[in-house]
Structure 1
Amino acid sequence: MTKTRIITLFLLLFAAAINAQQKVIPLYNGADPGSENWTYNEKVKEYNQPTFHGSVVYDVSRPTLTVYPADPAINTGTAMIVCPGGGFYILSMTSEGTEVAHWLNQKGITVFVLKYRLAESLTNDPATELFTNLQKKDFNEKIKSIVPLSIADGKEAIRYVREHAAEYGISPSRIGIIGFSAGGTVAAASAFKYTAENRPDFVAPIYGFLPHELQTDLAKDEPPMYIAAASDDQLGLAPHSVELYSKWLAAKFPVEMHMYVKGGHGFGMNKQNIPTDTWIDRFGDWLGELGLLKPIDPKVQVHLDEEEKNRKVNAERPAKDWAFIKKYEEENSKVPAPAEGENRVVFMGNSITEGWNSWGDPAFFTGKPYYDRGISGQTSGQMLVRFREDVINLKPKVVLIMAGINDIAENNGPSKLEDVFGNIVSMAVLAKSAHIKVVLCSVMPAFRFPWRPAIDPVPGIAKLNTMIKDYCDQNHMVYCDYFTAMADDRRGLPAALSGDGVHPNLAGYKMMEPIAEKAIAQALGR
């Protein structure tokens, strides 16, 4: 056997091994909503021409996701749904699908290639049929009924991936969608009229088509967006990219656009020896800037999964137990009356407080009369509602109150900083009336929220910390300043102290502990 044949055989076996790992998932259980009566079946055709090179899929009536898992050794916990283009008649599966998936896999990203629903082809040469239809004036009318179904498939893909995040080893707050041409329509449209279940965490429409009728008013937590296109786009779609970029920019949402002089429509992963060949490298740079190429600390990932679960539970709790008063009900019932001379301390807070004793550094609480009453994801209003049960009734000498970060992240919707500050003051007043000494903690540094990447937390944290410190100074209370000791040059948590930029790791908690002990001693001494 010649050396060339050996290499060829090896590559074929390697490709077969890779394909064996891939899983194809029907997007819907049972009939696909809106196309229940479609009778045509998915087909594949191979092309070898400049525009379409490789596999082209057509006649998709049953949408699916094909999974390309990241190597566990480099898995970042980030997921990407890839939507190939093709005018809602075909899917360019090679240069806008599988090649994109393999590139992302090399970055540690788990990929789900979406085959969304398409119009029925009437010939066995779907690419030529598409080009012919594009020349006709009624083309948009022909695909008018198809586009909403394709968009619905994109949103359902996001929902599915988020619901099954743990199964694929990904974070439910790191799910993005990228699409090309018509796939760009599917991707971009997912950034409009979304729910908590199908909201993308980042979006990348590449030479996408997004007319005004598919756009709605922007929400308050629009995801970051990356856009790429070419000025010489033969279909004249470059203005769609510019308009989308301008809309995000005007609303002050994170957005980046690369508009190339040359490249035409459909450049995808094709090599033309021009700058568009490197668009995906710039996309990789952008993902890196968002922190999506850095693996999440396993302990932090477990916590984020739990926080996502809590958010879902919280969404269903308002009519039952909005403030989660029952979380510590049994533990509180077992807390004895304070012993004589006992310097009992309660730590009231959110996930940073809860994580301290559950996965951060439980040893800090061992053998001390310290009680952790943090609840992941909670806002200041929820803490205020449960303050009597989880603090006052435990009769501590000191309470450390850490609140505000989840209000800034809008976990329960938009809120004014003045109202957040008011909730913190109300807790302090309640404690003081119960003869409990008060320590108000600074909001921790955070440059970006992994679960709310569109929100810039830095200004709100700075303003709220100033309000808290001034209140402590004016009312002779102790201000526990974690922020000054732990913030980096960006006013965020440095990587050495946190795996996700928000929640401290063991080193972060080790830095917090002497600051907390000093604040407790100051409060007891007053």
Structure 2
Amino acid sequence: MKKLLPAAAAVLFAFAATSQEPAATLKIWDNATAPHSNRIVLAPGEDDPARTIRTTETELCIYPADPARATGQAVVICPGGSYLGLAIGHEGHDVARWLSQNGVTAAVLKYRMPNGHPEVPLEDVQQALRIMAGLEAGATGFTADKVGIMGFSAGGHLAATASTLGAFKPAFAILVYPVITAEPGKGHQFSFDNLLGEDRTAEQSEYYSLQNRVTEATPPTLLFHSDDDTGVPPVNSALYYEALKAHGVKASLHIYPMGEHGWGFHTTFPYHEIWKAAVLDWLREINR
């Protein structure tokens, strides 16, 4: 496995799974059955199915909405982890449980790492969206007419990729301290190295700088960032927000004074309650 750079270590954290189980876990596909392979070959002892580093299998863990509070919305959640692994606890299962308790069906996506093959995580998230929309089999009883996407850090980049480059677009997007741009001095370069390969070209970097891919068809988007985030600077969210508004897309941007990077659902984040309220308020607003 590639040795982590010091700057990346601040963005790649806590890949521990949580103990509470989802209502259903769907195994979507692996490198042998998916349209494309990430060409990761696991070493002996590295094939633990609970592994969240260098993933080679795609799974969807579904937390159904509380029936008494159901809004008719569903969201696919993409945890972050620099496109090397998944912070699937505080940026996945913890968030999903909270959303489900508030009437939104939440599905945590364990997506395959790109390993220089950017089509791989995109096809994983596209399939997950189609499953939750009832266009593919596997989620009977859990599907919704309005299926959005939520992503954290590199998972935010994947959520924005689905929103801009995906053939099947989500109904809405929630991006939390997302990686957006590969521009020097602005982007988290380690994530782009993992997505595109360390020999990526300037053209590839420009194409996957997603502020350049926004169109009128990009879904309404809610963005969050911390002003003191040095791992993924807040300019990432600002660039995406500006592009959304330039194309007439409904958007809202919240930049908190502090919090740094990677707070996810940690209650130690100073604006934890404010953030939760903002998410639920926005989901209610776009559901009218």
Please give the range of the TM-score, normalised by the shorter of the 2 chains: 0.7 to 0.9
DSSP-derived class of the 2:60 partner: strand
Note closer, same or farther for the CA distance 1:270–1:243 as it changes in structure 2 (3 Å cut).
same
Residue identity opposite 2:140 in structure 1:
E
Conserved? CA contact 2:207–2:213, under 8 Å: no
**Which of the numbers 35, 39, 42 marks the counterpart of 2:37?**
35
Residue identity opposite 2:266 in structure 1:
N
CA distance in 2, matches of 1:22, 1:28: 18
Residue identity opposite 1:283 in structure 2:
V
CA distance in 1, matches of 2:158, 2:129: 11
Q: How far off its partner does 1:243 sit?
A: 0.2
1:347-362 matches, within 5 Å, as none
- Residue of structure 2 equivalent to 1:99: 94
| 1:204 is the counterpart of 2:174 | yes
DSSP-derived class of the 1:65 partner: strand
Residue identity opposite 1:213 in structure 2:
Y
Query: Which stretches in structure 2 are left out of the alignment for 5+ residues?
Result: 1-17, 182-205
Matched positions, count? 239
**Which of the numbers 25, 28, 34 marks the counterpart of 1:26?**
28
Q: TM-score, normalised by structure 2?
A: 0.74
DSSP-derived class of the 1:88 partner: coil
- Residue of structure 1 equivalent to 2:141: 168
Note closer, same or farther for the CA distance 1:200–1:20 as it changes in structure 2 (3 Å cut).
closer
**Which of the numbers 104, 109, 112 marks the counterpart of 2:104?**
109
- Residue of structure 2 equivalent to 1:154: 125
CA distance in 2, matches of 1:79, 1:254: 19
Alpha-carbon RMSD across the aligned residues, in angstroms, is 2.6
1:446-485 matches, within 5 Å, as none
Q: How far off its partner does 1:204 sit?
A: 1.1
CA distance in 2, matches of 1:285, 1:20: 25
- Residue of structure 1 equivalent to 2:151: 179
- Residue of structure 1 equivalent to 2:244: 248
1:429-444 matches, within 5 Å, as none
CA distance in 2, matches of 1:29, 1:273: 37
DSSP-derived class of the 2:66 partner: coil
- Residue of structure 1 equivalent to 2:5: none
4+ runs deviating over 4 angstroms: 27-30, 42-45
DSSP-derived class of the 1:39 partner: coil
Note closer, same or farther for the CA distance 1:96–1:221 as it changes in structure 2 (3 Å cut).
same
Q: Which has the larger radius of gyration?
A: 1
- Residue of structure 2 equivalent to 1:352: none
CA distance in 1, matches of 2:50, 2:136: 28
CA distance in 2, matches of 1:149, 1:169: 25
- Residue of structure 2 equivalent to 1:265: 261
Q: Deviations over 1:77-98 (max 9, x none)?
A: 2111001111111111111011
Conserved? CA contact 1:95–1:269, under 8 Å: yes
Note closer, same or farther for the CA distance 1:93–1:29 as it changes in structure 2 (3 Å cut).
closer
Note closer, same or farther for the CA distance 1:36–1:93 as it changes in structure 2 (3 Å cut).
closer
Note closer, same or farther for the CA distance 1:266–1:146 as it changes in structure 2 (3 Å cut).
farther
- Residue of structure 2 equivalent to 1:59: 54
1:271-286 matches, within 5 Å, as 271-272=267-268, 274-286=270-282
CA distance in 2, matches of 1:168, 1:27: 21
Conserved? CA contact 1:88–1:147, under 8 Å: no
Conserved? CA contact 1:84–1:93, under 8 Å: yes
Q: Deviations over 1:40-79 (max 9, x none)?
A: 235547xxxxxxxxxxx22310111111122333332211
CA distance in 2, matches of 1:157, 1:24: 10
Q: How far off its partner does 1:249 sit?
A: 1.2
CA distance in 2, matches of 1:228, 1:64: 26
Q: How far off its partner does 1:261 sit?
A: 1.3
CA distance in 2, matches of 1:242, 1:248: 10
CA distance in 1, matches of 2:250, 2:234: 20
CA distance in 1, matches of 2:176, 2:162: 14
CA distance in 2, matches of 1:204, 1:20: 21
CA distance in 1, matches of 2:29, 2:155: 16
| 1:289 is the counterpart of 2:261 | no
Residue identity opposite 1:71 in structure 2:
D
| 1:192 is the counterpart of 2:194 | no
Q: How far off its partner does 1:235 sit?
A: 1.3
Q: Which has the higher contact order (CA 8 A, sep 6+)?
A: 2
CA distance in 2, matches of 1:230, 1:276: 12
Q: Which moved more, 1:83-92 or 1:159-168?
A: 159-168
- Residue of structure 1 equivalent to 2:207: 213
CA distance in 2, matches of 1:178, 1:148: 19
- Residue of structure 1 equivalent to 2:72: 77
Q: TM-score, normalised by structure 1?
A: 0.42
- Residue of structure 2 equivalent to 1:229: 225
Q: How far off its partner does 1:246 sit?
A: 0.5
- Residue of structure 2 equivalent to 1:311: none
Residue identity opposite 1:82 in structure 2:
I
Q: How far off its partner does 1:157 sit?
A: 1.5
Conserved? CA contact 2:38–2:117, under 8 Å: no
DSSP-derived class of the 2:77 partner: strand
CA distance in 1, matches of 2:253, 2:243: 12
Conserved? CA contact 1:228–1:258, under 8 Å: yes
CA distance in 2, matches of 1:66, 1:20: 6
CA distance in 1, matches of 2:214, 2:22: 41
CA distance in 1, matches of 2:175, 2:269: 22
CA distance in 1, matches of 2:78, 2:41: 23
DSSP-derived class of the 2:163 partner: coil
